[in-house]
């Protein structure tokens, strides 16, 4: 019963700290918003302020309820097992610090579209432990902040323009200059293709069955939906334009030679059909084979 007044007073003090933490959280939010800071960073700092106030309230309340308790004794007790706790929470601390650095340096922001390893999508949230990404097919991927901070991440929406490209194959008998002109004409007439930087078409490869010309064009904005729409329109325009002007769009061809692999003729190319000498002859009769000397 003697400790009852201390308990009541301690609870009152703790409630006061709870209210104070909420007020401090709201104050930090207003200050950060006034400075046009990243929303996620403002949210993080407000949460940290609230947590610090609550921890301080717990320590003060414990000191009031338990007069023999002091923060120094708590620190001393934690110091005994601090090394084990540090190893146990190493990944949590690492992700926490990486999350703060991501919010401060802002390599990407909420709403950006990023690619990390096999994952690609829109950044939904940057928390203290992990970043949430919504993939283009409607799935949620949670990536630890430490991985995003220490590894290469592609930010597709970092700039306001993006270049797309596609290789178009024409026949070896077609006029390359004419085909290039038609490809450029098709790209210029397509909605969504920017005039500056201007589209271009470059010969990239003399392939087995075609001469490959790389069509390159710029779009704005560079979000994935816009990328797919622009590529669909450009490729349709290029195909129709080339076909209407008699430019061949060849498909891969292969020449297959058959020969006899029986034991009697295997290894002797003079007795295999592709080794027959050129000239008129009866296709049903085998070639004359001179005996070996």
Architecture of domain 100-155: Roll (2.30)
Return the pLDDT at 283.
Answer: 47
Architecture of domain 162-244: 2-Layer Sandwich (3.30)
Say whether 201 sits in a helix, a strand or coil.
strand
What are the residues facing 167 on neighbouring strands? 214
Return the pLDDT at 293.
Answer: 47
Return the pLDDT at 84.
Answer: 60
CA separation for the pair 122, 113 (Å, rounded):
4
- Which of 187, 94, 229 lies closest to 148, judged by CA? 94
Q: How many CA atoms lie within 13 A of 111 on its CB side?
A: 4
Q: Are 198 and 239 in contact (CB under 8 A)?
A: no
Burial of 34 (0-12, 13-18, 19+ CB in 10 A): exposed
Rounded average pLDDT per 10-residue block, the chain, 293 residues = 72 86 82 65 76 81 75 60 62 85 87 95 90 96 95 95 96 96 97 95 94 97 93 97 95 73 59 50 49 48
Return the pLDDT at 205.
Answer: 95
Q: Could you tell me the two tokens for 76?
A: 């001393």
Return the pLDDT at 270.
Answer: 60
Instruction: Give helix then strand counts, H and E, for the chain.
Output: 7, 8
**237-264 burial: b if 16+ Cβ within 10 Å, else e:** bbeebbeeeebeebeeeeeeeeeeeeee
Domain ranges of the chain: 4-73, 100-155, 162-244
Return the pLDDT at 265.
Answer: 57
- pTM equals 0.66
């Amino acid at each position: 019963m003697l400790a009852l007044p201390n308990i009541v007073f301690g609870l009152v003090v703790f409630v006061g700290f709870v209210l104070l933490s909420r007020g401090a959280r709201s104050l930090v939010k207003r200050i950060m918003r006034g400075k046009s800071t990243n929303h996620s960073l403002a949210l993080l700092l407000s949460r940290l302020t609230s947590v610090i106030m609550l921890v301080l309230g717990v320590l003060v309340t414990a000191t009031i309820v338990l007069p023999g308790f002091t923060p120094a004794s708590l620190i001393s007790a934690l110091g005994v097992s601090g090394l084990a706790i540090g190893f146990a929470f190493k990944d949590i601390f690492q992700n926490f610090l990486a999350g703060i650095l991501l919010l401060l340096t802002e390599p990407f922001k909420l709403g950006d579209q990023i690619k990390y390893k096999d994952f690609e999508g829109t950044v939904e949230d940057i928390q203290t432990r992990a970043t949430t990404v919504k993939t283009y097919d409607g799935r949620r991927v949670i990536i630890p902040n430490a991985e995003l901070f220490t590894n290469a991440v592609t930010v597709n929406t970092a700039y306001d323009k993006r270049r797309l490209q596609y290789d178009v194959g024409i026949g070896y008998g077609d006029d390359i200059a004419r085909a290039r002109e038609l490809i450029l004409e098709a790209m210029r007439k397509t909605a969504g293709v920017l005039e500056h930087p201007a589209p271009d078409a470059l010969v990239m490869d003399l392939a087995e069955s075609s001469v490959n010309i790389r069509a390159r064009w710029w779009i704005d904005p560079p979000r994935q939906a816009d990328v797919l729409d622009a590529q669909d329109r450009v490729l349709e325009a290029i195909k129709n334009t080339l076909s209407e002007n008699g430019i061949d769009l060849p498909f891969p061809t292969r020449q297959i030679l058959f020969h006899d692999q029986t034991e009697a003729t295997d290894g002797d190319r003079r007795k295999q059909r592709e080794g027959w000498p050129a000239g008129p002859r009866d296709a049903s009769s085998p070639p004359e084979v001179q005996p070996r000397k």
